[in-house]
């Protein structure tokens, strides 16, 4: 009678997170700060992306002990990251009862050919994408939520903007394409035809699309919302800033009132220094996280 893990139940949780901010946290204390600042969920990690980038080496799933402590600390959903293609890390995260698994390019990929078969899990997955084809490939694999990749750990919003604009432009292209030309467009985008048809029918992605990767200020968050994001992931932007709680609160409020410049001016004032940013051109191509996944 009761059906668990249906696609509606998986994508439905993402629908409930819309208009909200999901924050990377590494300790129970940070998780509590996120919750009382109005975050709709937290991403439990051992290191935020800026530190992963600085440390180099292989980045893996967080220690289950860290995930458990964070689950105990808050009542909002707790997400955690698995490496691309590492379905055993995902099985472990499902056993821990995390509410969403991020199959994430921020960690070092475990498989350079196949992403996780996300339909095999009851826990829903969110995946990164830079364009519509990539988003639809992930959805075909069972992802119930998409986030644009941006360039994590940089505090530089330029890639998040590029990816959001690209997805929106790709969707407009699908909408303008006659039905009989959709198969060729699908082939060109590397997306399953069925998913492309669904985009045309709905006029949007079939699942929620958040923005991620480089959001560091309330204005960045509102920019992404005005560009059509359904919500915001903030990684290093909060806990790498001078006053994380003030910044967390400000980014939440900016995401809610993204269309109200007066509120944006008010919440942006006096919240301390943002995290230091990195020029994308200064990152060697091989170190760009967005190139991971396909």
Partner 1 sequence: MAGSAPLVGILALQGAVREHAAVLQDLGARVRGVKRPSDLEGLWGIVLPGGESTAIGLLMTEYGLREPLRSGYLPTFGTCAGMILMARRIEGGEPPWLGILDVAVARNAYGRQRESFEADLEVGGIGQVRGVFIRAPYVTEVGHGVEVLARDHGGHAVVVRQGPHLATAFHPELAGEHRLHAAFLAGLDGPAQAPVGAVAG
| CB 262, CB 229: distance < 8 Å | no
Binds partner 1 by CB under 8 A, chosen from 26, 141, 253, 264: 253
- Radius of gyration in angstroms for the set of CA atoms belonging to the chain, rounded to a whole number: 18
Length in residues, the chain: 294
Shortest distance, CB of residue 89 to partner 1, whole angstroms?
Answer: 16
Closest to 20 in 3D by CA, of 208, 256, 200:
256
Binds partner 1 by CB under 8 A, chosen from 28, 49, 77, 293: 77
d(CA 27, CA 6): 31
- Please state, in angstroms and as integers, the Cα–Cα distance from residue 109 to each residue in 91, 116, 148, 164, 294, following that order: 16, 11, 17, 23, 11
Does 269 sit near partner 1 (CB under 8 A)? Answer: no
Shortest distance, CB of residue 266 to partner 1, whole angstroms?
Answer: 12
d(CA 293, CA 285): 14
Examine the residue annotation and report whether 81 is marked as an active-site residue of this protein.
Answer: yes
Phi–psi pair at 223, nearest 5 degrees: -60, -50
Shortest distance, CB of residue 65 to partner 1, whole angstroms?
Answer: 18
**Four-residue CA torsion sign, 258, 263, 268, 271:** negative
Shortest distance, CB of residue 208 to partner 1, whole angstroms?
Answer: 10
Binds partner 1 by CB under 8 A, chosen from 27, 38, 173, 268: 38
Does 8 sit near partner 1 (CB under 8 A)? Answer: yes
d(CA 87, CA 18): 27
Residue 24's DSSP bridge partners are 43
Pick the piece of the chain touching partner 1 (CB under 8 A) from 116-124, 126-134, 156-164, 177-185.
116-124
Q: Which residue's CB is nearer to partner 1, number 20 or number 85?
A: 20
Pick the piece of the chain touching partner 1 (CB under 8 A) from 106-114, 153-161, 232-240, 252-260.
252-260
Q: Please count the residues of this chain forming the interface with partner 1, following the rule CB under 8 A.
A: 38
Does 124 sit near partner 1 (CB under 8 A)? Answer: yes
Active-site residue set: 81
Interface residues toward partner 1, by CB under 8 A: 1-6, 8-9, 12-13, 15-20, 35-36, 38-41, 75-77, 94, 97-100, 122-124, 252-253, 256-257, 260
């Amino acid at each position: 009678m009761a059906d668990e893990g249906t696609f509606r139940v998986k994508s439905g949780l993402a629908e409930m997170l819309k208009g909200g901010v999901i924050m990377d946290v590494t300790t129970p204390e940070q998780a509590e700060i996120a919750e009382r600042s109005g975050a709709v969920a937290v991403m439990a990690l051992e290191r935020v992306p800026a530190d992963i980038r600085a440390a180099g080496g292989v980045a893996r799933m967080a220690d289950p002990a860290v995930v458990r402590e964070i689950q105990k600390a808050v009542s909002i959903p707790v997400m955690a990251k698995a490496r691309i293609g590492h379905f055993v890390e995902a099985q472990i995260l499902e056993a821990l009862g995390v509410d969403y698994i991020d199959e994430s390019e921020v960690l070092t990929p475990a498989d350079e050919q196949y992403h996780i078969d996300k339909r095999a899990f009851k826990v829903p997955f969110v995946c990164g994408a830079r364009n519509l084809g990539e988003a639809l490939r992930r959805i075909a694999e069972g992802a119930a939520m998409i986030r644009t990749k941006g360039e994590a750990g940089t505090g530089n919003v330029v890639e998040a903007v590029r990816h959001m604009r690209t997805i929106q432009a790709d969707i407009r292209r699908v909408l303008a394409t006659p039905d009989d030309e959709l198969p060729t467009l699908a082939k060109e985008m590397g997306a399953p035809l069925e998913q492309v048809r669904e985009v045309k029918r709905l006029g949007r992605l079939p699942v929620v699309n958040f923005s991620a990767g480089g959001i560091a200020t309330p204005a960045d968050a509102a920019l992404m919302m005005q560009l059509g994001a359904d919500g915001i992931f903030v990684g290093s932007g909060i806990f790498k800033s001078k006053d994380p709680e003030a910044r967390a609160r400000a980014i939440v409020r900016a995401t809610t009132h993204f269309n109200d410049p007066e509120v944006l001016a008010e919440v942006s004032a006096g919240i301390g220094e943002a995290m230091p940013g990195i020029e994308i051109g200064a990152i060697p191509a091989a170190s760009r996280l967005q190139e991971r996944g396909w």
